[in-house]
Chain A
Amino acid sequence: MELVVLILKIYLIFTAIIMIVYFIRHFIFTLNRLTGKQRIYYQDILDSELPTLSVFVPMHNEEKVASDILNRLIAADYPRDKLEVFPINDHSKDKTKKIINEFAKQHPFIKPLHRGKGKRGKPAGLNEAMKIATGEIAIVFDADYLPPKGILRDMAIAFKDPEVGAMMGRVIPINTPKNMLTRLLDLERSAGYQIDQQARYNLKLIPQYGGTVGAFRRDQFLTFGGFDKNILAEDTELTFNFFIKGWKVVYASRVECYEEAPEDWNTRARQIKRWARGHTQVMFRYLWPMLRSPHITTWEKIDGVLLLSIYAVPFLIALGIAISLILFFLGEMQIFESLFLFLLVIAYNTFGNIAPFNQLGIAALIDGSTHRIRLLPLLFFVFLFNLWSSSVGFVNAVFDLLFKREIRWQKTERFRDATGGSG
């Protein structure tokens, strides 16, 4: 029994250390955004010699949103002779195919890819489309996104830098006012992009390509052998593939695009579970190659480990909470002597999130949208929700690894009505 208690205590200390490490990481990011040197993106480079672009829009039953994004891409100011758009109709059973075909009839640069056979899912669809595309740069938008007129040029210009393999823009929810969930997601997105991604770009760590509002070099991507159809986080996979091969991923805060955030908790839970599962799959596969890569600096490796492990943390914390309860009822909770340590752990545990409390507040401040910080205490509930959803995703990834399970892609439900409004 004493040995069991000792192991539980060691685990609890391990959990505390993890929380402190992440707390420090995010605190450094926040401080960097407040007081550090801010690296600029390349949007001020005007160059008449632009690369050719292939824009990919994966679509599975996207009749509610397909017209909107295609209309936005038609309005883009990128030279037509250097642009091709691939709406990827991936086994849709609704009117997606009809909508895409109507657009293609009128606009020759829209080249539909209809998939009715083979494995369904974003990675499989993108792999197929990449092979028939001709653009030097690949750009991916999810179907619910609304790209502004000038966004393609601002994305493409990053590739004038010979070291940039991929770039990532900023995602902003358009349906923020809808309900409590969308308002909280808006805060999380702000922190994730305005603080987390920008700080990682500033500090030359690992900004992440996020799978949408992102671009990458198509020829390099093809040398990686495409996306693994069994990985649910093709974006994280791509990020680490580029870093491991010596390329960089850059973040562009000014390259902003609206998305539709999930409007109900079930949809959000499924989304987090998919992200957590996919991200953890990438961790299992790429952690060691990343640590061994000669192209990645020590600081990038440290950040890479923390980034890859991020969805393991909620599971480890949940386990830690369960163990602390066991130890409490066994009368064995005399672990932390230091008040400082105790306070750090409590701070993270109370307000911790994938984007912690301090990040959210400062992100709202930088965005000049400060009244929304009154919502911050509600993130306590989001923390619990994310703790559960991420843990389920993490456990699923572990089972995938152990039992070589077949992965099925789960699409995020859309809420927009036919007139373009949300819900």
Chain B
Amino acid sequence: MTFVIFFVMFLFLLLLPFLPAIKELVRPLDASPLSINMDYSRDPRYFGNSFKGILKRALRTENLSEGKKLITLSKSETVEIVSKTKIPAGDKVDHLMYVMGNLISLENVTLDKEIYVDGKASIGERNTLRALAAEGKVSLASKTTVIRWVDAEGEFIAARSCDLGWSISSGNRLKIHPDCRFRRLYGMPVLTSDEGLEKEISDKDQECEEIGDAAFISDKDWTIIPPYTRIDKTLIFKQNLRIKRNCVLDKDVKTYQKLVLEEGVRIKGNVFAENGITIGSSARIFGNIFSQESIRLGKGSKIGRAGATKSVVARGGIVLDRGVVIYGYVVAGKRGRVL
């Protein structure tokens, strides 16, 4: 009898770790495949395009009349349809809005839900805005906070000290003024204010001397490429790299450490670095810029070119000085800001 009891106990203890597994097999709580969005296609204006599509499908927009409606999005929502509107100072709007004309909000307005504007949107000072999609131009007055995103088919302008939330996109120019903070920007182009800057950057190459590797100056930590050097091969360096002023690189450059491009450097290819990238004033990069740390773009630097999309992507922060022009997409893993 003792033997049987011990044998049963032995079997029970042996099986004990497997009981949760057997339960999960018999009555699964977590058997679905991990989810992949099969229709996902990279779109820097995804938020705006997606919201407009969902809202218009829910409203069936052919014959809209003013008033409030109940629609079902991810849950049941009230949407207010207006032909045009001017929201008084200090007001709070806690429902979706569909504006068939232009939208104007005065100062200190809080827009807690998504807004669609078929015309232009002019957002007043110190507003708080959850999300906005507009078919026309969008302007944000100073100290406005975007919680999630804004997408404008027309031009987008943010005045000083705005917090630009998760994503700002425009089918046109996207201009942001000093002291604005951002995560993602997309515009053709993205511009920072050029107040106080004197000159436009030329697209022409300067006269440069072509040199071989032997002329690079290297110590333990840094390699330095002398000023006015022209190099027509891809450069990959394991250490820090400083490219002195007015050099021209015809191909890509990559470093495993920091990369510093001084004033007036021109790179026709892409720029990659495992550490921080600092780009000097009036530098001209025709390709993408990618850093596993942070990126700083100096005054008047220009990235990409009209008619093509390029990107500035950092795992960390991105700092944009005045007069920066980027044809395409800016993505900061942490906070980006404009000086």
Contact = CB atoms under 8 A, between A and B. Distances in A.
A117 interface: no
A378 B18 contact: yes
Interface string B1-39: 000000000000000011011011100111111101111
B41 A163 contact: no
A25 interface: no
A301 to B, nearest CB: 15
Interface stretch (B80-88, B100-108, B112-120, B287-295): B287-295
Interface in A336-385: 367, 369-372, 374-378
Which of B17, B186, B288, B333 gathers most chain A CB within 10 Å?
A: B288
Interface residues of A, number: 45
B234 interface: yes
B19 to A, nearest CB: 9
A31 interface: no
Interface string B282-321: 0000011010100000000000000011110101000000
B292 A149 contact: no
B137 interface: no
A172 interface: yes
Main secondary structure of the interface of B (DSSP, over half): loop
A49 B34 contact: no
Given A154-B42, A374-B20, A172 B33 contact: yes
A367 B34 CA distance: 8
Interface stretch (A36-44, A219-227, A230-238, A308-316): A36-44
Interface in A230-288: 256-258
A29 to B, nearest CB: 19
Contacts of B36: 148, 172, 256-258
B331 interface: yes
Contact of A377 (B21, B34, B270): B21
Contacts of A161: 252, 254, 270, 272, 290
A45 interface: yes
A125 interface: no
Contacts of B315: 39-40
Nearest to B313: A44
A35 interface: no
B331 A44 contact: yes
A150 B39 CA distance: 7
A47 interface: yes
Contact of A45 (B30, B186, B253, B311): B311
A258 B38 CA distance: 9
A176 interface: yes
Interface residues of B, number: 46
A40 B316 CA distance: 10
A162 B270 contact: yes
Contacts of B313: 40, 42, 44-45
B98 interface: no
B329 interface: yes
Given A40-B333, A177-B31, A374 B24 contact: yes
A176 B34 CA distance: 9
Interface string A302-341: 0000000000000000000000000000000000000000
B269 A162 contact: yes
A250 B36 CA distance: 21
A148 B287 contact: no
22 contacts: A42-B313, A45-B288, A46-B310, A47-B311, A48-B308, A48-B309, A49-B308, A77-B41, A148-B36, A148-B37, A148-B39, A150-B40, A160-B252, A162-B252, A163-B236, A258-B33, A369-B34, A374-B20, A375-B24, A375-B25, A377-B17, A378-B21
Given A146-B38, A149-B41, A371-B28, 18 more contacts: A42-B290, A48-B310, A48-B328, A49-B308, A154-B42, A160-B252, A160-B290, A162-B251, A163-B272, A172-B36, A176-B34, A186-B33, A186-B34, A256-B36, A257-B36, A258-B36, A374-B21, A377-B21
9 closest Cβ contacts across the A-B interface? Answer: A371-B30, A374-B20, A162-B252, A177-B31, A371-B29, A48-B309, A150-B41, A374-B24, A372-B30
